Structure 1
Amino acid sequence: MTWQGFTGSVDEWDALVERLGATTPFQLSAWATFRESFGWQPTRLITPDGKSAAQLLVKGVGPVQVAWGAGAPLGVVAPSLLRDLVNETKHLLNARVSYLRLADHAPHESSRVAAFRAAGWSTTKRPVGSLRTLVRSLDVDTAPLSASYSSNWSRNLRRGHQRGVIAEEWHSPDTQLIAQIHRDVDDLKQKFHAEWRSEPAALEQLLECFRERIVIVKAHDQAGTVLAVRAAVIIGRHGYDFLAATSKEGRKTYASNVALDALLGLLVTRGVIDYDFGGVDPVNNKGVFDFKHGAGGTEASYVGEYDATSPKF
């Protein structure tokens, strides 16, 4: 047996996630706790040597147990481990039929991709998330943050300041207001569905689950009207983009530039060394891609998204 159920506490799980090299906030216990209210139950697996692990969110769909692992597996990957993961997951879930989907957010490596293929996993036809991201360094020992901004991004940041936009850490976030700004985004983009981001109660629960791991910045005008919100989750010395929304008025005043600049600065003070912008789509969402790229992001690819069933069909 190469996999077994993880029996430790949630704090022990989070320590394991950090040790194995988290690539996304979605392997943290906080995310699983949050998603439980949406009908997903967490299942955590680990290899006996502690070098590989996976947190899966499970939901029954008819006779099939669906297991979804965003950011899984963590640590070592090999064809034998990936083959056994399918069978052991089915066994742990006591399922007659199981469908397992993983989004491996580790940096793209041909050997890791080959392991999935050799184990009989299929590339998903319709990935849930993006297979590409932008990552920027927060090392200010050699150069200030602004040195990585494009000239256009820097110009828009100055415009934001000139229009009186101020950014600061939001210690007691107003989830009603954050939800409303996300609903504005939903209206503007039409096809973009914000899910829980537009529900105050869900946002309140999210913040409670992540607690001190989440850092939120608000950008507001001189009258105190909130124009933009930006949040990151910290895991060890790494930061991950988590919430981002700008009101209609904020788009006219470059509030998103001011908010992101302030957030990155806060992360630096907390010892964070790099920042993952959380997935990009340069074709279907070019505006967001250009914004993140202009903020100093360098393109990177994930291993990819794969699925497998047991029994095979």
Structure 2
Amino acid sequence: MVVFELIDNRDSWNKEIQKYNNYNPYQQYEWGEYKKKLGWKVASIKANDNGKIAYLQITYKKKFNVFLGWCIGSIAGDVTSFHKDNLIDFINKTFNTKYVLIKSNFTNILEFEESISLYSSKWTKASKKISVDYTIYVDLKNSYEDLLANCSNNFRKNVKRGYSKNLDIEVKTLGEYNEEEISQLFLRFKEIKDVPLPNLDEIKKIKENLSKSIVIATSKIDNEIVGLRAFLYLGHKALDFWATTDSIGRNNYTSYVLLFELFKKAKELGITEYDMTGIDPLNNQSVYSFKNGLRAKKVEKLGEWELSNSKLLSFLINKIYL
């Protein structure tokens, strides 16, 4: 018999999910608190299936008797503990709903046994995908020298060029930055290239909840920030979070330097796994080329899955809404 429990304790949640190697930094309790500020509700669920423990955090919206949810990060622990029938029954009883659709983008590396476990638990591959299934993992157990040596010749040259041109670099937590300065920076960068960056209100909400969980590296040339890169982390795992440079930064190889400065800081924090958060050789060749220059491990993620007890609800969301 599976016993489900809603967890409402930050320290307990973060400590417990880190016991399992398939956790993800997005699963941290603080990310859920940030999503609440954006109008979502959050359910942090522990499952105990006769001693097989797992944790799943879901952002959701409920209207009438319909529950629409999105899994944050991954399932930490034994994925079979979140069998479709048991989970839907728990949700309907707990939230007084009748129809359920839960979508996910599991960001951990695809493992055959874990994929089979999801199938056996009646999860299905998402009928409509909204992101890529591939990423690059950087092994920060390697020394700084080895990380650099493993890069392509061109990447190594650009790192060295960058260090000669970017002489004013800062690496601090988000909490140490002024959110208005970051917002103005993002607005200026978006004028150069339309990229998905948060506005001031979103940055404030992120800072309120994740001020210590996000580390930012910036470079100034002639007293003006020309590039910014950041990672989100929990425990020994980090993922690339923000990355942008202006035309001056691109001409001075700023992105290369900031990435390696983040690697240095991550190693200081005890981080051993760094997820470059997605590669798309077909539709985003320039970003893929940059990340691939690291010559790090390219992997397929467990990817997008879903479960539902209503074919009509699944059709409407996947075919019309998304």
Aligned position for 1:276: 275
* Contact 1:72/1:104 (<8 A) preserved: yes
* Contact 1:165/1:255 (<8 A) preserved: no
- Structure 2: distance between partners of 1:225 and 1:296: 31
**Structure 2 vs 1, CA of residues 312 and 86 (structure 1 numbering), >3 Å: closer, same or farther?**
farther
Q: SS in structure 2 opposite 1:98?
A: strand
Match of 2:184 among 170, 180, 184: 180
Count of residue pairs brought into register by the alignment: 308
**Structure 2 vs 1, CA of residues 144 and 59 (structure 1 numbering), >3 Å: closer, same or farther?**
same
- Structure 2: distance between partners of 1:212 and 1:277: 20
Aligned position for 1:124: 126
Q: SS in structure 2 opposite 1:232?
A: strand
- Given the two structures, how large is their TM-score scaled by the length of structure 1? 0.89
Listed one character per residue, the Cα deviations across residues 198-229 of structure 1 (whole Å, up to 9, x for unaligned) are: x12321221231232221111121x2211111
Aligned position for 2:226: 227
Match of 2:158 among 156, 159, 175: 156
- Structure 2: distance between partners of 1:133 and 1:3: 34
Q: Bigger shift: 263-272 or 72-81?
A: 72-81
**Structure 2 vs 1, CA of residues 8 and 155 (structure 1 numbering), >3 Å: closer, same or farther?**
same
Amino acid in the other structure paired with 1:131: D
For structure 1, the 5+ residue unaligned runs are none
Q: Bigger shift: 289-298 or 36-45?
A: 289-298
Q: Is 1:247–2:246 an aligned residue pair?
A: yes
Question: Structure 1 residue 141: deviation in Å?
Answer: 4.8
Q: SS in structure 2 opposite 1:170?
A: strand
**Structure 2 vs 1, CA of residues 62 and 246 (structure 1 numbering), >3 Å: closer, same or farther?**
farther
Q: SS in structure 1 opposite 2:305?
A: strand
Q: SS in structure 1 opposite 2:211?
A: helix
Question: Structure 1 residue 183: deviation in Å?
Answer: 3.5
Match of 1:193 among 179, 191, 196: 196
- Structure 2: distance between partners of 1:249 and 1:43: 44
Amino acid in the other structure paired with 2:267: V
Aligned position for 1:212: 212
- Structure 1: distance between partners of 2:81 and 2:27: 21
Listed one character per residue, the Cα deviations across residues 19-56 of structure 1 (whole Å, up to 9, x for unaligned) are: 12354322111111111121111101112236211000
* Contact 2:80/2:117 (<8 A) preserved: yes
Amino acid in the other structure paired with 2:263: L
Amino acid in the other structure paired with 1:41: K
Question: Structure 1 residue 174: deviation in Å?
Answer: 3.0
Amino acid in the other structure paired with 2:184: Q
Question: Structure 1 residue 61: deviation in Å?
Answer: 5.2
- Given the two structures, how large is their TM-score scaled by the length of structure 2? 0.86
Identity across the alignment (%): 21
Question: Structure 1 residue 247: deviation in Å?
Answer: 1.9
Q: SS in structure 2 opposite 1:292?
A: helix
Amino acid in the other structure paired with 1:295: L
* Contact 2:171/2:215 (<8 A) preserved: yes
- Structure 1: distance between partners of 2:82 and 2:138: 34
- Structure 1: distance between partners of 2:16 and 2:130: 25
Listed one character per residue, the Cα deviations across residues 232-291 of structure 1 (whole Å, up to 9, x for unaligned) are: 122212222112121232122111111111111111122222211112212111211121
Question: Structure 1 residue 7: deviation in Å?
Answer: 3.4
Q: SS in structure 1 opposite 2:157?
A: helix
**Structure 2 vs 1, CA of residues 296 and 253 (structure 1 numbering), >3 Å: closer, same or farther?**
same
Aligned position for 2:320: none
**Structure 2 vs 1, CA of residues 251 and 81 (structure 1 numbering), >3 Å: closer, same or farther?**
same
- Structure 2: distance between partners of 1:142 and 1:174: 30
RMSD: 2.4
* Contact 1:181/1:246 (<8 A) preserved: no
